[in-house]
A and B are shown apart, each in its own frame.
Chain A
Amino acid sequence: MLWNSLMLAMRAIRVNALRSVLTMLGIIVGVAAVITMVNLGRGATEQVSAQIASLGSNLLTLRAGQRFMHGQSSAAPAFSLDDVAAILRDMNTVAAAAPIASQQAVAVFGNANWSTNVTGTDNEFFVVRNWAMANGRQFTDSELHTGKAACIIGATVRKELFGNSDPIGDTLRLKKVSCEVIGVLAVKGQTAMGSDQDDIILLPLRTYWRRIAGNQDVAQIHLSAHDGIATSKVKKDLEILMRERRHIGQFEDDNFTIRDMQEIADTLTGTTRALTSLLGTVAAISLVVGGIGIMNIMLVSVTERTREIGIRLAVGAMERDVMLQFLVEAVALSSLGGIFGIVLSFFASYFISGLMDMPFIYNPGIVVVAFLFSASVGVIFGYVPARRAARLDPIVALRHE
């Protein structure tokens, strides 16, 4: 009986091919949208995790002042090299700590100039940020101590200023300082926030203080925890240490901010997830709208085929036979729509993730869920038309023109 109903449904769908496809459109779009959203959401999450990993998942940043919304921060004294030394001396959970001071400045080489992030730091930076050299070398101890004008440039700066030529040994100008390029950093890509990590020029901290900033502030300290040590634990220890060093009273708030990458990762993944579920909800609504489309067409179909229903009832079809026939037809419509939607979502996920430079992820679980959902849309929205068909009076139905 079920098989016969399925054959009948397929025939009815084929006879009205165009109408059937238009009816399915809502389901096709809905299913494709839901699956694509989930896939893209997974891709975005994956991308964020990869970017966090590129920063170093055991990285903590310590900066002066409290951060508020909108990027404002309260005024607070900067750190010093003594703070860095104290951290390395007092905290055995910290593997490395790099002082960081930076500002935006224009770098010039030949005819090319490029505004970039100029950062003063030391060799601990490479450890903390887990950042290798593409070529050239790190700073020497004497360069660091004497504040020599030597710089290491990021891949973006190298591309903008030097094009394809080898920059090692060349001299670029930063503000009024001429400095020799001694190394090029390996490519890191964008941060999870979307800023280009490779757009950077590193100087020895002393050089930066003396020639660029004109003060001796350490704006940030970046630390990395030992492997296997929870960053949250390091964060707590660091807070106690810094409150003590900065003489913060028991009832005063911190005048510094510590962030660990895990926290940033959680925030970003949370945002991505929220966005995904929002878009997914919109897509799910289109599935419901698609279901209403199916109900509409099934009602039309029942009216059109009233005579056929009358004939079936007259030759001995029971209510449930007619009911089954129309339910199966509605489910076949919505399931076919679901299948087309799944195929469409595959291409959509592939192309959009390519367009957005995200990893292509196709989640088979959501496909199963989407298919079952589309089939149940058929059951739910096919029920009313099917019941209407089954309850027809055979005499009235046979007389229907």
Chain B
Amino acid sequence: MTSPVLVELEGVTKSYGKGQAAVQAMRGVDLRINSGDFVAMMGPSGSGKSTCMNIIGCLDQPSTGVYRFMGTDVGGISRNQRALIRRQFIGFVFQGFNLLPRTTALENVELPLIYRGMPRAERQRQAREALAAVGLLDREGHSPAELSGGQQQRVAIARALATQPALLLADEPTGNLDTPRSHDIMGLLTELNRERGITIVMVTHEAEMAAYAHHIVNFRDGRIAGERQNGESR
């Protein structure tokens, strides 16, 4: 590991809109996330946690302040450069699964590898490996409509995993799942964090799920209201 600090935010603010209608989503956030960490970001809706995650995931840019990813300032880089960072280092898991409809599980997992320009055979091998890691190898030919919610989220995790990212961002990954399924998914994330050393940043408002993380960050009104380390994960 070249630098233990993977993500570093200094005085990051984010506002949307202009003038009277402007909304201040982040009002100055300082945050450091080390490689191999498992972070849960909590807080009520509108507290800035999702905006913060979008900035960490290079989907969005800070209005002011500095964001360093792997030691490089990525605050002012272009749309395409941000796409390249996402492509190389970041995997996403969303609350709504966000799989492509009418597309098999395997093809969904292949998607980020296609944009890496990986040849078909190697792409499929790597995608199958990722599906195997989430225990869905036998469902590779199923379309999302033929899978349960939990299975869909596993496919989404496999898709994020396929590129072997440095950072996995999960936006309320259990928001659409029942409790047993939620614990399954959290177990899977924990395992990926522990065994593959993937840094995970997760947004959630369920304390039960946040308890899986090592490091809990509480957001309130666009600021970090408190940070604490979890004694030990379950």
CB closest residue in chain B, given A312: B111
Chain B positions within 8 Å of A307 at CB level = 98
B79 at the interface (CB under 8 A from A): yes
Question: Mask for A368-401, Cβ within 8 A of B = 1, else 0?
Answer: 0000000000000000000000000011001000
Tell me, in angstroms, the Cα distance from A398 to B169 when the chains sit together.
14
Interface size class of A (residues with CB under 8 A): 20 to 34
Q: Does A4 contact B (CB under 8 A)?
A: yes
Evaluate contact between B83 and A319: CB separation under 8 angstroms: yes
Q: Which residues of A contact B111 (CB under 8 A)?
A: 311-312, 315
**1/0 per residue B151-184: CB within 8 Å of A?**
0000000010001000000000000000000000
Cα distance, A152 to B187, chains bound together (Å): 108
A124 at the interface (CB under 8 A from B): no
**Residues on B facing A (Cβ under 8 Å):** 54, 57, 59-60, 79-80, 83-84, 86-88, 91-92, 94, 98-102, 111-112, 114-117, 159, 163
Least CB separation from B89: chain A residue: A316
Contacts of B88 in A (CB 8 A): 316
A238, CB-defined interface residue at 8 Å: no
Answer yes or no: A313 CB below 8 A from chain B CBs: yes
CA distance A1 to B117 in the complex (A): 7
List residues of chain A with CB within 8 A of the CB of B163. Answer: 316
Q: Shortest 4 CB-CB distances between A and B: which pairs? A: A316-B87, A315-B112, A318-B83, A316-B86
Question: What residues of B have a CB within 8 angstroms of the CB of A1 in the complex?
Answer: 114, 117
Question: A321 contacts the other chain (Cβ, under 8 Å)?
Answer: yes
Residues of A within 8 A of B98 (CB): 307, 310-311, 314, 398
CB–CB A308/B100 < 8 A? yes
* Minimum CB–CB distance for A320 against chain B, Å: 8
Interface residues in A19-61 by Cβ distance below 8 A to B read none
Query: Which residues of chain A come closer than 8 Å to B60, judged between CB atoms?
Result: 395
Can you identify 17 A-B contacts, CB atoms within 8 angstroms? A11-B102, A310-B98, A311-B98, A311-B111, A312-B115, A314-B57, A314-B92, A315-B92, A315-B111, A315-B115, A316-B83, A318-B83, A319-B83, A320-B80, A394-B59, A398-B94, A398-B98
Q: Which residues of A contact B (CB under 8 A)?
A: 1, 4, 11, 15, 307-308, 310-321, 394-395, 398
Q: Identify 7 new A-B residue pairs, CB closer than 8 A, beyond the known A319-B83, A398-B98.
A: A4-B114, A307-B98, A312-B111, A313-B83, A315-B111, A316-B112, A316-B163
Contacts of B117 in A (CB 8 A): 1
- Asked if A315 and B80 make an inter-chain contact with CB atoms under 8 angstroms apart, the answer reads no
Closest A residue to B116 by CB, please name it.
A316
B144 CB, nearest partner CB in chain A, Å: 12
Q: Which of A316, A317, A319 has the most chain B CB atoms closer than 10 A to its own CB? A: A316
B80, B86, B94, B101: which contacts A319 (Cβ < 8 A)? B80
CB-nearest residue of chain A relative to B92?
A314
Q: How far is the CB of B17 from chain A (nearest CB, A)?
A: 13
A308: chain B residues within 8 A (beta carbon): 100-101
Chain A residues in 8 Å Cβ range of B114 = 1, 4
Q: List A contacts of B83 (CB < 8 A).
A: 313, 316-319
Q: How far is the CB of A386 from chain B (nearest CB, A)?
A: 16
Contact A315 B54 (CB under 8 A): no
Q: In the complex, A94→B100 CA distance in Å?
A: 83
How many angstroms from the CA of A320 to the CA of B87 in the assembled complex? 14
**A261 CA to B161 CA, complexed, in Å:** 81
Q: Is the CB of B59 within 8 A of A395?
A: yes
A316 B100 Cβ-Cβ under 8 A: no
Tell which of B57, B59, B102 touches A15, judged by Cβ atoms closer than 8 Å: B102
Give CA–CA (A319, B86) in the complex, Å: 13
Residues of the B chain whose Cβ atoms lie less than 8 Å from the Cβ of A319: 79-80, 83
A277 shortest CB reach to chain B, Å:
46
Complex contacts, A313 vs chain B, CB 8 Å: 83
Report B198 CB to chain A, min CB distance, Å: 16
Bound together, the chains give a CA A332 to CA B98 distance in angstroms of: 27
* Minimum distance in angstroms from A393 CB to a CB of chain B: 8
Inter-chain contact A395/B100, CB cutoff 8 Å:
no
**Distance in Å from the Cβ of B49 to the closest Cβ of chain A?**
14
The complex places the Cα of A110 from the Cα of B59 at a distance, in Å, of 99
For B86, the chain A residues whose CB sits under 8 A away are 314-316
Q: In the complex, what residues of B have CB within 8 A of residue A314's CB?
A: 57, 59, 86, 92, 98
* Chain A residue with the shortest CB-CB distance to B86: A316
Q: Of the candidates B59, B84, B92, B100, which one forms a contact with A318 in the assembled complex, judged by CB atoms under 8 Å apart? A: B84
**Which partner residue on chain A sits nearest B156 by CB separation?**
A311
Closest to B110 in A: A4
Give the distance in Å from the alpha carbon of A307 to the alpha carbon of B94 in the complex: 12
Q: Min CB distance, B228 to chain A, in Å?
A: 29
Instruction: Give complex CA distance A315, B94 in Å.
Output: 12
Are the CB atoms of B80 and A318 closer together than 8 Å?
yes
Residue of B nearest to A321 (CB): B115
Q: How far is the CB of B218 from chain A (nearest CB, A)?
A: 23
A79 nearest CB across to chain B (Å)? 84
Most buried by B among A314, A317, A320: A314
